[in-house]
Amino acid sequence: MALLLLGLGLSTPAVAEPSAALRVSTQTLLDPWAERPGEDQVEQWTRASLSAQAPLGRGTAFVDMRGQHVALWGEGGRESALHLWLGEAGWRGPVGPGWLSAGNLLTPAGQLVALSPLDVLSARDLRAGLSANPADLRLPAPGMVAELGERTVLQLIWLPAGARDRVPLVGTDNSLIRQGMLEGEVDTLSATAASTGGLGGLALGAIADELHALSDRVDPQTRRGAEEALLQANLPEPVVEASEVAARVRGAVGPVHLEALAAWMRSRRPMLALSPAATGFVTGAASVDAATLLTDPPDVSSALTVCWPRTAVLGGGLSAPAGPLLLKGEGAWTSDRLVQRAGLRAVTRPMWSGAAGAEWSASGPPGLLGAELRVEHLRGITDPDGLQFMAETDVQLALYTEWRLARERLVVQAGGLGSATLGELALRPGLRLDLRDGLWLELGGLWVPVSEPAPETLGALLEYAGGPIGALADTEHVRLGLSWAR
């Protein structure tokens, strides 16, 4: 609760004595529908969190260690990976007239739960795709937060190294480039070589054979290392170039809670741009002069560029009770929103966004029902049909509910997220049953009805006209899990 209050901008006193908590969970995702070659049929995600806090001086020291093991089974065999990282860790306490938090910190903002335009400071862990637990999405980052005031609280936030999303790029069901996409392009190259003949055909055939051999030699660990190296490309240096600053004000006027945010930050996701020549080759829009490949090979290093653009974010929000409802509203302006275009080309454009939500709580039995609506509008778009994974004006919807039954031993949950503009929707129903002594059994699933099918080849991906949910439409599954906390 102390960390939650800190995230909300409320000062908390130092703890009286040391405490620790352990949380372990495992989920098995079963996908019996073979919708795409190379798709994983079984995924197992095992997560652990060990947290502790203790008084230190006039404040509190806290630490949270995180671990995750992922195992995947599919047509290509078995693949597994182990990830360890530092969660929230540092010190918080009174300093002079205010409070200071320093360390690896979460920096949440906004009033809304799912579609907040203000919740832009914390990076996200997107490696699990649509199956991710919303409580585990935010990632902490090194920083300092100074707080001044009591009823009206001013937060000054400094992130010396910035923050970035964990985005899977290659080789899994949740990646941008999924299993078989690159191999399919090599097969197309082999077919082109066979039909070309002559010296050019020999050149293309030799290149295809070498790419096939390289694909066979690259194991999952090497692939993940190359992916991380790509995501590290052109990252700005900490402090000097990467520093981000933000100011956040929270207060109340009677029953109305108000919030304002101003931030100067970098994009949480990389700006990936594929060269026009590479795009034309993959999509077939450009012909290949096979005979020149031997004397003038292409510059592969310039095919893909990565950068991290800066942006300013200004916005505000409020929430107020209205009878049995809690009404919420937010609005924000982003100076340089990352905009993806067809062909894996990217630009930045200004964006206005506004969101509204309503939440209803019940006490007998304990329950919650909420709905949110968000509208985004990109400025300066000259070719709306050329946008990818977004729309010039995008209307997004979110629904969530939770009910605790049978003396709170049975929890019924459901959530939905979608875009009315892009014609996509993801639904996640679930049940949680308290077995005993903190052990919970979980049953659930994921259903993704979309109007645009997920791309199966690299060429289809570069020309894909759907949204981010539709791109993962074939990751529907049945979910079984266990969790334990003490």
Span 430-458, pLDDT tens digits: 999 999 889 999 999 999 988 777 888 87
Q: pLDDT class for 466, splitting at 50, 70, 90? A: confident
State the Cα–Cα distance between residues 450 and 452, nearest whole angstrom. 6
Q: What is the enclosing helix (H) or strand (E) of 314?
A: strand 310-322
Q: Which pTM does this prediction carry? A: 0.85
Longest CA–CA separation in the chain, Å: 82
- Ranking 8-22, 125-139, 304-318 by mean pLDDT, the lowest is 8-22
**HEC secondary structure over 282-308:** HHCCCCCCHHHHCCCCCCHHHCEEEEC
pLDDT at 280: 60
Which helix H or strand E contains 185, and what residues bound it? helix 181-196
Residues 6+ apart with CB under 8 A from 268: 120, 123, 124, 163, 164, 165
Confidence of residue 188 (pLDDT cuts 50, 70, 90): low
pLDDT at 2: 33
Mean pLDDT over residues 166-180, rounded?
A: 83
**Separation of CA 439 from chain center:** 28
Identify the three-state secondary structure at position 115.
coil
Among the residues of 197-273, which ranges form H helices?
A: 198-217, 220-232
CA distance 429 to 360: 19
Which are the contacts of 383, defined by CB distance < 8 A and separation ≥ 6?
A: 341
Q: 3-class DSSP state for residue 286?
A: coil
- Give residue-wise pLDDT tens across range 349-364: 999 999 999 999 998 7
For residue 170, pLDDT beyond 70:
yes
- Whether residue 420 is predicted with pLDDT greater than 60 in this model: the reply is yes
- Give the CA count within 13 Å in the CB-facing half-sphere of 378: 21
Residue with tokens 């012909």: 287
Note whether 26 and 474 are within 8 A (CB). no
- How far is CA 183 from each of CA 191, 194, 301, 325, 391, rounded to the nearest angstrom? 13, 17, 19, 53, 30
Rg (CA), the chain: 24
| pLDDT for residue 290 is more than 80 | no
**CB-based contact 420:443 (threshold 8 Å):** no
Task: With CA atoms as reference, report the closest residue to 212 among 187, 181, 192, 195.
Answer: 187
Q: Are 85 and 63 in contact (CB under 8 A)?
A: no
Q: Answer for the pair 124, 138: CB distance below 8 angstroms, yes or no.
A: yes
How many whole angstroms separate alpha carbon 242 and alpha carbon 233? 13
- List pLDDT tens digits, range 304-315: 778 889 999 999
CB distance 21 to 486 below 8 Å: yes
| pLDDT at position 1 | 29
Which residue type sits at 344?
L
**Mean pLDDT within 466-478:** 90
How many other C-beta atoms can be found within 10 angstroms of the C-beta atom of residue 90?
21
pLDDT given at position 121? 95
Provide the b/e sequence for 69-80 (b: ≥16 CB within 10 Å): ebbbebebeebe
Q: Are 20 and 52 in contact (CB under 8 A)?
A: yes
Share of the chain above pLDDT 70, in %: 83
Count of C-beta atoms within a 10 Å radius of residue 17: 7
Among all chains, which residue has been given the structure tokens 């309503």? 358
Query: For 7, phi and psi rounded to 5 degrees?
Result: -65, -30
Q: How far apart are CA 25 and CA 481, in angstroms?
A: 7
Domains and CATH numbers, the chain: 2-485 (2.40.160.10)
Sign, CA torsion 238/241/242/245:
positive
pLDDT for 314 equals 98
Q: Can you tell me the mean pLDDT for 147-157?
A: 94
Residues 395 and 375 sit within 8 Å (Cβ to Cβ): yes
